[in-house]
Structure 1
Amino acid sequence: MKRLFLLISLLVLSKFSAQTWATEDQYIQKFAQYAVEEMEKYKIPASITLAQGLLETGGGQSILAQQGKNHFGIKCKEDWTGKTMKHTDDAPNECFRVYDDPKQSYEDHSIFLATRKYYTNLFNLDMKDYKAWAHGLKKAGYATNPRYASILIGKIERYKLYEFDEVNSKEVLYAVLKKYPDLKDDRSFMAQLEPSKKVKSEPVTLKVPYKATSYAQQQKRVERIKSKAEVLNSILIKSHPNGGLKYIVIPEDTNVQFIANKFKISDSKITKWNDLQSDVLRKDDIVFLESKNSEGNTPTYKAEFGEDMHDIAQKFGVKLNKLYAKNRMDEGQKPSVGQLIYLIDKKPRN
């Protein structure tokens, strides 16, 4: 009897283990279709798009991918009018695009590359030369990681993503099945291969009886709105990507004196450390609780619409006077949109 039970258990386990995939395998199975469709429309190698998605989302596990459906880490920029979310990347509290579904993110990624002047030369490359595209993206400044090209190439070759450069959108599911033959036991996946056999389900109408409630009961269901004082008192100290500097993000309009009293730091130090010209602090301002660094944690940054040098200094935890000096700019001079701002000295010091 025990042997029979053991045999049944092994059979059950083998059936389920056949469909237990690593997160990156799952990502490929789910999003290869989008990558190939974008390749057909915009002539960007599917292997490159898929590898970028894998890398940027950590196999679909990143906060941006799960909460914002943003698979390529595209920031808001001046021309974005859709939904947004705040997230810490190179700097705290940066603005990122939010999509209704991942398919929109894939298409926006294609449009982003196809319409930005920095990436024009990419479209002169052979669409099936993924290595040239990987190096071209790094050269054009898509990412600050010096190993970005080699990481993309590594993922493409590890998962043989170049195979998707050879198929069209009607063939991609068969290419996925060829790569992962155990998917034949996955009913939901196999159903995609036979769309004509899908049965359209009729919407179900539920009748819910009306139940009167008192005003007091209704009020209990309404989420309590925190007062300004409660919000300010709940500020948490964070660790900045630039060397772990201690900083906070102001949740409501306040002043330097309030922050000084709360964190037991003199207002003169807060003013000096943050290069402030007034006592006023606005919602979403970044405020450091210690002296900023002389350099950033990334070599360069392209100025965005509406930013001044103080905004950039706070974003990257760099002393404002050092930032002006690195870029040979006068105090008070504003950067133009898209201007390359140096956060680290161009040449090593002697």
Structure 2
Amino acid sequence: MKRLFTVVSLLVLSEFSAQTWANDDQYIQKFAQYAVEEMEKYKIPASITLAQGLLETGGGQSRLAQEGKNHFGIKCKEEWTGKTMKHTDDAPNECFRVYDDPRQSYEDHSVFLATRKYYANLFNLDMKDYKAWAHGLKKAGYATNPRYAGILISKIEKYRLYEFDQVNSKEVNFAILKMYPGLKDDQAYMASLESSKAVEKKKVSKPAPAPKKVYAEAPKKERVKTKSEILNSILIKSHPNGGLKYVVIPEDTDIQFIAGKFKISEEKLMKWNELETNQLNKNEIIFLESKNSDGNTAIYKAEYSEDMHDIAQKFGIKLNKLYAKNRMDEGQKPSAGQLIYLIAKKPRN
């Protein structure tokens, strides 16, 4: 009951108009409880989990966090059977997991680290050594940003997140009050703690009544767009790799339609996109100009069933250049989890 009370207390925090904290502070107050609970279950430092959440969500403000309750940017992967959403990250139109609430995202993040062989060595580290964990995550390929470890360490030290590595799930609220002592003088906040405690006692002692049936009017059905209307609504987008112009095909069609719509010859489109057939499938990426020789990030882990053409389109790289960077023969397929180089490795001196 104490743990539940603490969660409720922290969630209430952001609702008071008297508070003027920045997004990062609000995020810490809301989600420190989850990070500590995950630390107890999976032995992942709470400071690391919170810092990753802060970074990935921009203090809880990212589209993935707001719409998908996804706080760690975890992509679908082959084993995911839950809800999904499309989002542009390193490449356009990537598939990301969608959760019912942030707690599921925190749990899935722990499972993700604990069950993948790339991260196995992390669990040999001291759970209170956040610096070793930060560098270990970068070395294991969790992120492509070369400064990733330093950014995590900076956030942990700026907000003293290492203090959460020293507490258990029943002590999180006291750690919050220690970090933000001004809360003790906030009568509204302190009153909310007592109120929440009373509410939780009542819930335990007296079962909630059965919900009343509500009969609502059936929602009006929206008119379904025709395939032609969907295709004609295609908009040109800018790719993260240098702003290349591209489109995502919303319905199955052919190259002739795209050529006619954007006034580009079929030959050029076939060449720029290394196409072997003029048939285009839904969600396929098609570039409207020649792709680049390098990617916008250094390396990428191939996903299940992806081929080199899929990766070339995802990152806006010429297919022959991608084969060359990875010393692979034309037509050779990568295995799931294989590191694919998107920028040529510098020769050693």
Question: Would you say 1:83 and 2:83 are equivalent positions?
Answer: yes
Which residue does 2:257 correspond to in 1? Answer: 258
Deviation, 1:348, is 5.2
Tell whether the 8 Å contact from 1:237 to 1:247 is kept in structure 2 after alignment.
yes
C-alpha distance in structure 2 between counterparts of 1:192 and 1:164, whole Å: 23
Which residue type is aligned with residue 134 of structure 1? A
Match of 2:6 in 1: none
2:60 equivalent to 1:64: no
Task: Name 1:160's counterpart in structure 2.
Answer: 160
Q: Counterparts in 2 of 1:190-209, with a 5 A limit?
A: 190-192=194-196, 196-199=200-203, 202=209, 205=212
Amino acid across the alignment from 2:57: T
CA contact (8 A) 1:68 1:99 kept: yes
Q: 2-side partners of 1:90 and 1:36: how far apart?
A: 30
Q: Is the alpha carbon distance of 1:308 and 1:43 closer, same or farther for their aligned partners in structure 2, counting shifts above 3 Å?
A: same
Q: Which string of whole-angstrom CA distances, capped at 9 and with x for unpartnered residues, describes residues 113-133 of structure 1?
A: 111111111111111111111
Question: What amino acid is the match of 1:300?
Answer: I
Match of 1:289 in 2: 288
Q: Structure 1 pair 198/51, CA: closer, same or farther in 2 (3 Å)?
A: farther
Size of the aligned set, in residue pairs, is 327
Per the alignment, residue 40 of structure 1 pairs with: 40
Where in structure 2 are the equivalents of 1:184-263 lying within 5 Å?
184=184, 185-186=188-189, 187-192=191-196, 196-199=200-203, 202=209, 205=212, 221-263=220-262
Amino acid at match of 1:64: L
For the Cα contact (< 8 Å) 1:183–1:190, is it kept in 2?
A: no
Q: Secondary structure at the match of 1:268?
A: helix
In the alignment, which residue of structure 1 is the partner of 2:115? 115
What is the CA-CA distance between 1:81 and the residue it aligns to?
1.2
**SS class of match (2:170):** coil
What SS does structure 2 have at the residue aligned with 1:334?
coil
Q: 1:194: how far off? A: 5.9
**Amino acid in the other structure paired with 1:322:** K
Residue 342 in structure 1 maps to residue 341 in structure 2: yes
Q: What is the alpha-carbon distance in structure 1 between the residues aligned to residue 82 and residue 21 of structure 2?
A: 34
CA distance in 2 between counterparts of 1:191 and 1:346 reads 59
**Shift of the alpha carbon at 1:193?**
5.4
| Deviation (angstroms), 1:192 | 4.6
Distance in 2 of aligned mates of 1:193 and 1:29: 18
TM-score, normalised by the number of residues in structure 1: 0.88
Call closer, same or farther: CA 1:250–1:189 in 2, change over 3 Å.
Answer: farther
Larger radius of gyration: 1
Partner Cα separation in structure 1 for residue 202 and residue 19 of structure 2 = 23
Q: Residues 305 and 47 from structure 1, CA distance in 2 versus in 1: closer, same or farther, beyond 3 angstroms?
A: same
**Structure 1 residues 17 and 226: alpha-carbon distance in aligned structure 2, compared to 1, 3 A threshold:** closer
Q: Sort the Cα spacing of 1:233 and 1:349 in 2 relative to 1 into closer, same or farther, 3 A.
A: farther
Q: Provide the aligned C-alpha RMSD in A.
A: 2.1
- Runs (4+) of structure 1 exceeding 6 A deviation are none
**Which amino acid counterpart does residue 205 of structure 1 have in structure 2?**
K
Q: Is the 8 A contact 1:19 1:182 kept in 2?
A: no
Matching residue of 1:13:
none
Distance, in Å, in 2 between the alignment partners of 1:298 and 1:72 is: 19
Matching of residue 28 in structure 1 with residue 8 in structure 2:
no
- Compared with structure 1, are the counterparts of its residues 333 and 64 closer, same or farther at alpha carbon in structure 2 (3 Å cutoff)? same
Bigger shift: 168-177 or 64-73? 168-177
Aligned to 1:269: 268
Work out whether residues 191 and 198 of structure 1, in 8 Å CA contact, stay in contact via their aligned partners in 2. no
Distance in structure 2 (CA, Å) of the matches to 1:103 and 1:172: 16
Q: Take 2:82 and 2:200, find their aligned partners in 1: how far apart are those partners?
A: 35
- 1:204: Cα distance to partner? 5.8
| 2:230 aligned partner, one-letter code | V
1:141-172 alpha-carbon deviations (Å, 9 max, x no partner): 11111111111111111111111011100111
**Structure-2 separation of matches of 1:65 and 1:107:** 15
* Residues in 2 aligned to 1:169 and 1:239: alpha-carbon distance in whole angstroms: 45
Instruction: Confirm or deny: 8 A CA contact 1:18 1:182 kept in the other structure.
Output: no
- Structure 2 length-normalised TM: 0.89
Paired residue for 1:9?
none
Q: Verify the 8 A CA contact 1:183 1:189 in the aligned structure 2.
A: no
Contact 1:19 1:183 in 2 (8 A): no
- Cα deviation, residue 181, structure 1: 3.3
Contact 1:300 1:342 in 2 (8 A): yes
Q: Is the 8 A contact 1:245 1:290 kept in 2?
A: yes
For the pair 1:320 / 2:327, whether they are aligned, the reply is no
Amino acid at match of 2:22: A
SS in structure 2 of the partner of residue 221 of structure 1: coil
Q: Is the 8 A contact 1:236 1:248 kept in 2?
A: yes
Aligned counterpart, 1:3? none
SS of 2:246's equivalent in the other structure is strand
The residue that corresponds to 1:141 in the other structure is 141
Distance 2:102 2:26 in 1: 14
Match of 2:308 in 1: 309
The Cα shift of 1:176 comes to 1.1
